[in-house]
Structure 1
Amino acid sequence: MPRPARFTVDDLLDSAAAVVAERGPAALTILAVARAAGAPSGSMYHRFSGRAALCGELWMRTEERFIAGFAEALSGPAGTRARCVAAARHTVGWCRDHPAEAAVLLAGADALCASGWPSELHARRRRLHRRLRRLLAGLHAEADRVNAAVIDIPYAVVRRHLLSGAAIPPSADAIVTECAEALIPPV
């Protein structure tokens, strides 16, 4: 009977997110994550074929976790305006609650070797983005206004705090709420 693994994939990806948050995406290497997790490098290579696979898995896990709540907000029972407000507030709250993972999203997929990811990760990402596009298209408001309300403004509000390493203040919730309400007319 094989002995159970001491480090799960999630343990290793949590350590990878911490490396990105503390030292930036360029510092994300198999060895850096192994050290951060206190794991042997063999554990890393058993789960990830190399740096690109590690980066891709980290990105996908992070994006999927973020979009799960974002999609839930966008598909709620309320009207378009309320769903947009909920999605904008989700971005702020999620980034506040998950600062290391927010740093991964802030770094961007390209900084995490997106061109070298295994093909199955690219397919997984395309499926995720198709789902998100369907949700956004199902909102009854002008697309540019929706994008500004639920993507551009919340991203801008959290970005400066994340870059400075500061906590996202409670006032950020009110800012994105007011902006979304101003952009999306009540129906």
Structure 2
Amino acid sequence: MRPARFKDVDIIEAALAVAAREGPAGASIAKIAAQADAPTGSIYHRFRSRDVLLGEVWLKAVTDFQNAYIKLLDGSDVERAALDAALFVPRYVRENTAEARLMLLHRREDFLVPGWPVKMLEQAEMLGRQMQAAQQHFCRKLTGRDDRKTMRILCYAMVEAPMGAVRPYLEKGGTPPPLVDSLVEATFHAAMALTGGDA
């Protein structure tokens, strides 16, 4: 049997490139096919619709980011792990700009549409639960508690502030300069001081 010329991963990478460049609304099957240098029939043979293909792109980007982020939280030095997780955001953006544009410049709802198969919807929900559980567990390790206020501070210091710091550069088509890492670190320490201890 002759091996398939186009693999699922090739089409997903092409769809990622188009969606990152033009947004999910602009990622037509024709443009994705052109990016992959593949016939549209090859795409429809593997993915039953454009929405399903873009959903796979979003799920892969979020899964890869989240797995790497959560792995950092397992560090033996808990305080260092917290800062490393915050700094992971700008570093990830520089190394994975297309995926970062997809996740930070567009809403989950831009990809999560009614046409998604049940299995994909369940995977998206699982990712949300996984991240929440990891943050809650880490909050207890770092501060000894997981009340709403402490969780809110931790989420801001480690996720929201870093993402907010890199977003303007992505919006302009660039990547964050090294100064952003210093700003993220300073913000992290200032926010964590509100928990009663500067992590």
Structure 1 length normalisation: TM-score?
Answer: 0.92
Amino acid aligned to 1:135: A
Q: Which runs of 5+ in 2 are unaligned?
A: 144-149
Mapping 1:1-187, distance limit 5 Å: 1=1, 3-79=2-78, 81-106=79-104, 107-138=106-137, 139-140=139-140, 141=143, 142-184=150-192, 185-186=197-198
Moved more, 96-105 or 113-122: 113-122
Q: Is the 8 A contact 1:75 1:135 kept in 2?
A: no
- Give the aligned length: 185
RMSD: 1.5
Q: Is the 8 A contact 2:52 2:116 kept in 1?
A: yes
Which residue identity is paired with 2:170? L
User: How many Å apart are 1:114 and its aligned residue?
Assistant: 3.1
Partner residue of 2:147? none
Q: Percent identity?
A: 30
The verdict on how the C-alpha distance between 1:84 and 1:130 changes in structure 2, with shifts beyond 3 A counting, is same
> How far apart, in 1, do the equivalents of 2:167 and 2:175 lie?
11
Radius of gyration: which is bigger?
A: 2
Gaps of 5+ in 1: none
CA distance in 2, matches of 1:89, 1:101: 17
Alignment check: 8 A CA contact 1:62 1:105 kept? yes
- Distance across 2 between alignment mates of 1:23 and 1:144: 33
Contact 1:15/1:33 (8 A) holds in 2: yes
Contact 1:62–1:101 (8 Å) recurs in 2 = yes
Taking structure 2 as the reference length, the TM-score comes to: 0.87
What's the CA shift string for 1:39-96, capped at 9, x where partnerless?
A: 11111011111011011101000000111111111222222x3222111111111111
